[in-house]
Structure 1
Amino acid sequence: MDYFTSDLHFGSVDVAQLSNRPFDSILDMNECIIRNWNERVKPDDKVYIIGDFMNRAETNPEHYLSQLPGRKHLIIGNHDHGWTQRIDVDEWFEAVEYMTEILSGGHLITLCHYPLMEWHGGRHGAFLIHGHLHDRRDAPFWPLLQRYKTALNAGVDINGFAPVTFGELVENNRRWKQMD
Structure 2
Amino acid sequence: MPTWFIADTHFGKQPGGRCKWSGMSAGELDALIEANWRDRVAENDVIWHLGDIGPDWRRLATLPGVKHLILGNDDKKDKEERAEIEASRIFETVRNRHRLEVDGGSLFLIHIPAEAKRKPAHEVIHGHLHHLPSVPGHRSVSVDRTGWAPQRLEELLTRSS
Per the shorter chain, which TM-score range?
0.7 to 0.9
- Which residue of structure 2 aligns with residue 36 of structure 1? 36
Q: Deviations over 1:58-108 (max 9, x none)?
A: x4x32x112211010000101113343344545111100001101124330
Higher strand proportion: 2
Instruction: Tell me, yes or no, if the aligned pair for 2:4 and 2:45 is still in contact at 8 Å.
Output: yes
**Gap runs ≥5 in structure 2:** none
Instruction: Tell me, yes or no, if the aligned pair for 2:110 and 2:125 is still in contact at 8 Å.
Output: yes
Counting only pairs closer than 5 Å after superposition, residues 104-143 of structure 1 correspond to structure 2 as 104-115=102-113, 116-118=116-118, 120-121=120-121, 126-137=122-133
SS of corresponding position for 2:35:
helix
Distance 1:49 1:21 in 2: 23
Instruction: Tell me, yes or no, if the aligned pair for 2:86 and 2:94 is still in contact at 8 Å.
Output: no
Whichever of the two has the greater Rg, that structure is 1
Q: TM-score, normalised by structure 2?
A: 0.84
- Which residue of structure 2 aligns with residue 72 of structure 1? 67
* Gap change, CA 1:118 and 1:110, over 3 Å in 2: same
Distance 1:109 1:89 in 2: 26
Say what the alpha-carbon RMSD is for the aligned residues.
2.1
Distance 1:96 1:88 in 2: 6
- Which residue of structure 2 aligns with residue 142 of structure 1? none
Q: TM-score, normalised by structure 1?
A: 0.76
The number of equivalent residue pairs is 154
